[in-house]
Every structure is written in structure tokens, then in C-alpha cells.
Amino acid sequence: MAIFSVSSTRPSVSAIHTGEPAVTVRIGAVGYLNARPLVYELDGAPSFPVRYDVPSECARLLHEGAIDLGLIPSIEYLRGGPYRIVPDLAIASNGPVASVALYTTKPMRDVRSIALDSGSRTSVALTRVLCHRHFHVEPSFEPLSPDLSKMLERCDAALLIGDIALLTDARPGVEKIDLGEAWTAMTGTPFVYAFWAGRFGALDEDDVRELQRARDAGVTQNDEIAREYFPDSPARQAIGAKYLRDNIKYYLRDDERAGLETFYRYAAEAGVVPGTRRIEFY
């Protein structure tokens, strides 16, 4: 799927009733397959024009004020704002995620260097937390473009995320470690990779309900989404539909919030972020 951008304007709820000028609500989402159920029903909707980018770019745009609402990596909540989170919406896993993985040429206890997918931020933070608390190693980290062969030429292990990780299996001499599975094994909680966040006042209650409604509709259309995302590959369509159905969760409830708070605390303890803050919702 190509990454593209669209911008437009929409009237606020108050503008509809009072005749006030329309306001611009700029929305940024992630272009990966795992985000599609959250935005599938929004594509083409004039009320929610959506721009698509990699996770790190989506976060940068929100931090810089270039968008008003972003489907941002969860770690970025601590690096900008203050933001509000759209309630009960997330990209999460509870166990294997299939699309966030370390590929290593050595046992993790012997890993001394890790190449990091430069398009990721939360998964980079997760990798650092797991190295600190779960694998008990202190490797060096090097951001690189997501090319597994080149990454493993430079480092003992490589982090890949998103569609590339989903479709890249282990190879001879290389072990694939699912980081969603590693997190849940360590903590007993789900892991939250991303959520909708924006500045206070960017959304009203009707907007929140519309985003939740889009999720509710999107999660019922896994087969259709996978077919459209991989139009020329029935094999990848089957992988994609299974992944959306079995690996990715789209809710931010008590268990997910507990996992998120644990991640923030561990990230601060590992020096990934300066500190944590209270989670606040629209």
C-alpha cells in the first residue's frame, strides 16, 4: 500500500449549528496494515481527512503541530504534548504480535549490537526495555533502514516492524523473536503500540464516538481489508487477514492501560524517557 496524504477542512459541530467558519482538523495515521481497521471507514470521509505516514513521522508531525490528531507510537505520549488520548482505541497485542520482531544471529545473551528500524519509536523503546529487564544485555543500538540483510551485516540483531516484519520469517542461522510475546511473558499484560492522541480541544464527544464507530466497523472487515491491502497476492491476503483477526487488538481497556502504565514505568527506569506522566483521555 502506498503512503499518501490528504488534507481538507471540515465544519466543527458548533459551526454546523451556528454558521461559524469551518475549522481544519488535520489527522495523521500509520500506513501499515495493522492500522487499517481503525481508519478503513474513515477513508474518503469528509469529516475525517487522513494523512498516512510511518509511525515516527506521524509522531513528529503531531509534536510540531502539523497535525491535530495522530495515531502515534505510545512512547511519544511522553515526549510531546500535553496530549489527550481517544478512549478505548489502540493498536495492541496480548501475546504474539507477529509484526514487531528481533532477528538475531546469536543467542540474546551474546548480542552486543542491534540495528533498529528507523521508522519505529515505540518498538525501539520496547526493544531497549526488554534488553534491560528481560534479556539482561546492554547492546549498542544503530538506527538503519529496514533491510534485514544489511542490518545483520552491521549488527548481531535487527529490529523490524510492521508489514516487513509480518512477512519476513526466520532464515537459516537467524532466530525471529516476537517482542509482543516477550513482553506478555515478562509482564502478564498486553502491549499497546499506538493510539489516537491530540491536544486538548482537538476533538469533541461526537468525534470520539465517530472514531470508535469506525473501529467497530473496521474490525468486522479483516478479509476485505487484507484483500485490498495485498491485491495481487492471495497468500499474503491470508496472512494479513489472520494477523488482523488473531494478533492485533483495537481496544484500550483496563488490561491494556495496565500494560501501558507498566511500559511507561519501565521505559523511565531504563532511561528511554526522562519520566512518566498521568494518562489522560478526551
78 near 267, Cβ under 8 Å? yes
Please give the distance of CA 207 from its chain centroid, rounded to a whole number: 21
Give yes or no: residues 109 and 81 share one domain.
Answer: no
Position 46 scores a pLDDT of 60
pLDDT, mean of residues 118-129: 92
- CA 252 to CA 93: how far, in whole Å? 11
Per-residue pLDDT of 134-169, as tens digits, reads 999 999 999 999 999 999 999 999 999 999 999 999
- 281 found inside a domain: no
CATH code for position 82: 3.40.190.10
Model confidence band, residue 9 (pLDDT cutoffs 50, 70, 90): very low
Position 50 scores a pLDDT of 84
Per-residue pLDDT of 171-217, as tens digits, reads 999 999 999 999 999 999 999 999 999 999 999 998 899 999 999 99
Cell output for 248: 492485533
Alpha helices for 100-253 (secondary structure H): 122-130, 148-154, 162-167, 179-187, 205-218, 222-229, 234-246
Position 81 scores a pLDDT of 84
Give yes or no: residues 86 and 197 share one domain.
Answer: yes
Backbone angle region of 55, left / alpha / beta, with phi > 0 → left and psi within -120 to 50 → alpha: alpha
Per-residue pLDDT of 76-85, as tens digits, reads 999 988 999 9
Give me the percent of the chain exceeding a pLDDT of 70.
90
Give yes or no: residues 137 and 117 share one domain.
Answer: yes
**Alpha-carbon torsion (250, 251, 256, 260), positive or negative:** positive
Give yes or no: residues 47 and 120 share one domain.
Answer: no
Position 118 scores a pLDDT of 83
Residue 205 is part of which domain span? 13-90+192-247
Position 42 scores a pLDDT of 84
Of residues 103, 184, 88, 84, the one with CA closest to residue 149: 103
Give yes or no: residues 35 and 153 share one domain.
Answer: no
**Structure pTM?**
0.88
Give yes or no: residues 171 and 139 share one domain.
Answer: yes
Per-residue pLDDT of 21-37, as tens digits, reads 345 578 899 889 999 99
Q: What is the mean pLDDT of the chain?
A: 89
Position 8 scores a pLDDT of 32
Position 56 scores a pLDDT of 84
263 near 192, Cβ under 8 Å? yes
Per-residue pLDDT of 26-75, as tens digits, reads 889 988 999 999 999 987 666 667 888 888 889 899 999 999 999 999 99
192 near 267, Cβ under 8 Å? no
Give yes or no: residues 84 and 38 share one domain.
Answer: yes
Model confidence band, residue 16 (pLDDT cutoffs 50, 70, 90): very low
Of residues 123, 139, 140, 255, the one with CA closest to residue 178: 123
Give yes or no: residues 128 and 161 share one domain.
Answer: yes
pLDDT, mean of residues 113-135: 94
- 170 found inside a domain: yes
Give yes or no: residues 180 and 207 share one domain.
Answer: no
- CA 53 to CA 30: how far, in whole Å? 5
Task: Please tell me the total count of domains within the chain.
Answer: 2
- CA 128 to CA 271: how far, in whole Å? 9
- 167 found inside a domain: yes
Give yes or no: residues 59 and 126 share one domain.
Answer: no
Give yes or no: residues 205 and 67 share one domain.
Answer: yes
